[in-house]
């Protein structure tokens, strides 16, 4: 896959194009992309995905500090390349760019710079200033500028439309299985191990505190999770907690992400790891004392192992997204 951030000089043969943010690169997106690739081959052309970065909401919203997404740019690029597209065009999104009308975008980008042969869009696609561009507008200019266009229907899983917003909502509500099912892969967080208060060591459950690489990555609902941990080319089983440590005397004032890696005894401070979410086990809760917390953690360990032992860690490791 060729990545373009400068589209002044492009030489793409019969470009078959789609446009979108593609947060998550989920099953709905893959339906569009697979069709895009098939169409480009039938027309002796090349497949092209146009996306915007940073996300428009990070540029335009007054509440950008609270905005969270499913993928970092690096993850999105990997998933699109894995899908098999030929070209990824990343257009820098600015306030100036946001004011470009649908008509101007079509003429300046789709026609002049890319010379679009065929355009494929999703069921709810909008573009241009204030999102006024849609299939009807595109069809009008497709006839005028001699390119063809088609709009695909929504992808249904369990009779529900697959969308990034539904996946984000599922993660925020703790419905991990739904989110992973719609994504088509296990959700992940990448981060660096930082020092904590080492309280877990005193009860036999040492934890690694994780500081996320990307502050805009969505953190799933507070609670205890069965996870795999990818570190230096190896996969380990883990118990992960997201929350505020309510049982501790000095309850945390901020949210922590910490993982107890099973059968692991290495100093990995300042090292990068990837957390792969498999199943949510329970809510975070406050216990009357450390001994009750320890007893619950033993139960959690048994439950988590029963979940993870049904999975093939080598199959997960073969996915380079998690490395």
Residue pLDDT, tens place only, 106-163: 999 999 999 999 999 988 888 777 777 788 888 888 988 899 999 999 898 988 999 9
DSSP symbols for 85-108:
-SEEEEEEP-HHHHT--HHHHIII
Spell out a b/e string for 210-245, using b for 16 or more CB atoms within 10 Å of the CB, else e: beeebebbbebbbbbbbbbbbbeeebbbbbbbbbbb
> 311 by DSSP, 3-state: which?
coil
Average pLDDT of every residue of the chain: 91
The C-alpha atoms of residue 101 and residue 104 are separated, in whole angstroms, by: 5
Residue pLDDT, tens place only, 66-76: 899 999 999 99
pTM above 0.85, yes or no: yes
Residue pLDDT, tens place only, 273-323: 999 999 999 999 988 888 889 999 999 999 999 999 998 877 777 788 988
Q: How far apart, in Å, are the Cα atoms of 218 and each of 63, 76, 139, 156, 212? A: 15, 14, 36, 23, 10
Nearest residue to 238 (alpha-carbon basis) of 215, 261, 216, 208: 261
Contact, 46 vs 285, CB < 8 A?
Answer: no
> 97 by DSSP, 3-state: which?
helix
Q: Which pLDDT score, from 0 to 100, does residue 288 have?
A: 82
Nearest residue to 273 (alpha-carbon basis) of 218, 323, 220, 200: 323
Going by their DSSP bridges, the two strands 208-212 and 160-161 should be labelled as: unpaired
* Higher pLDDT among residues 289 and 241, named by residue: 241
The C-alpha atoms of residue 127 and residue 133 are separated, in whole angstroms, by: 5
Q: What structural domains and CATH numbers belong to the chain? A: 2-154 (3.40.50.620), 172-322 (2.40.30.30)
148: left (phi over 0), alpha (psi -120 to 50) or beta: beta
Any idea which of 51-60, 137-146, 200-209, 245-254 has the lowest mean pLDDT? 245-254
The C-alpha atoms of residue 227 and residue 280 are separated, in whole angstroms, by: 9
Q: At residue 116, what are phi and psi to the nearest 5 degrees?
A: -55, 130
Residues, the chain: 323
Share of the chain above pLDDT 90, in %: 67
> 50 by DSSP, 3-state: which?
strand
Any idea which of 16-20, 128-132, 253-257 has the lowest mean pLDDT? 128-132
Q: How confident is the model at residue 202 (pLDDT cuts 50, 70, 90)?
A: low
Helix (H) or strand (E) run with residue 296 in it = helix 290-308
DSSP state of 86: S
The C-alpha atoms of residue 207 and residue 289 are separated, in whole angstroms, by: 18
Nearest residue to 40 (alpha-carbon basis) of 151, 119, 134: 119
Average of per-residue pLDDT across 31-42: 97
Q: Which tokens go with 229?
A: 């941990």
Query: ω into residue 203 within 30 of 0, thus cis?
Result: no
Average of per-residue pLDDT across 172-185: 96
Q: Which pLDDT score, from 0 to 100, does residue 200 have?
A: 61
Contact, 233 vs 323, CB < 8 A?
Answer: yes
The C-alpha atoms of residue 301 and residue 296 are separated, in whole angstroms, by: 9
Q: Which pLDDT score, from 0 to 100, does residue 198 have?
A: 62
Contact, 237 vs 278, CB < 8 A?
Answer: no
Share of the chain above pLDDT 70, in %: 95
Q: How confident is the model at residue 194 (pLDDT cuts 50, 70, 90)?
A: very high
């Amino acid at each position: 896959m060729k990545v373009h951030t400068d589209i002044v000089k492009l030489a793409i043969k019969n470009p078959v194009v789609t446009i979108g943010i593609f947060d998550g690169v989920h099953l709905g997106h893959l339906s569009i992309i697979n069709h895009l690739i098939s169409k480009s081959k039938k027309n002796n052309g090349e497949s092209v995905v146009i996306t915007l970065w940073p996300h428009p909401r990070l540029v335009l919203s007054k509440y950008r500090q609270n905005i969270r997404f499913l993928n970092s740019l690096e993850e999105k690029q990997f998933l699109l390349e894995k899908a098999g597209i030929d070209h990824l065009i990343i257009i820098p999104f600015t306030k100036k760019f946001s004011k470009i009308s649908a008509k101007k975008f079509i003429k300046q980008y789709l026609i002049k710079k890319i010379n679009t042969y065929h355009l494929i869009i999703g069921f709810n696609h909008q573009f241009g200033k204030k999102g006024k561009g849609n299939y009807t507008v595109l069809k009008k200019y497709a006839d005028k500028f001699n390119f063809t266009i088609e709009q695909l229907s929504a992808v249904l899983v369990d009779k529900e439309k697959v969308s990034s917003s539904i996946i984000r909502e599922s993660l925020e509500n703790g419905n991990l299985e739904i989110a992973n099912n719609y994504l088509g892969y296990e959700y992940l967080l990448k981060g660096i191990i930082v020092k904590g208060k080492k309280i877990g060591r005193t009860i036999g459950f040492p934890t690694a505190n994780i500081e996320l690489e990307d502050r805009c990555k969505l953190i799933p609902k507070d609670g205890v999770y069965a996870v795999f941990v990818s570190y230096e080319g190896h996969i380990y089983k883990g118990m992960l907690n997201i929350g505020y440590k309510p049982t501790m005397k000095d309850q945390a004032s901020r949210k922590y992400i910490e993982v107890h890696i099973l059968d692991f005894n290495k100093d990995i401070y300042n090292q990068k790891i990837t957390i792969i979410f498999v199943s949510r086990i329970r809510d975070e809760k406050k216990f009357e004392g450390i001994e009750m917390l320890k007893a619950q953690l033993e139960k959690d360990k048994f439950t988590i192992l029963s979940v993870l032992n049904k999975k093939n860690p080598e199959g997960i490791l073969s996915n380079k997204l998690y490395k």
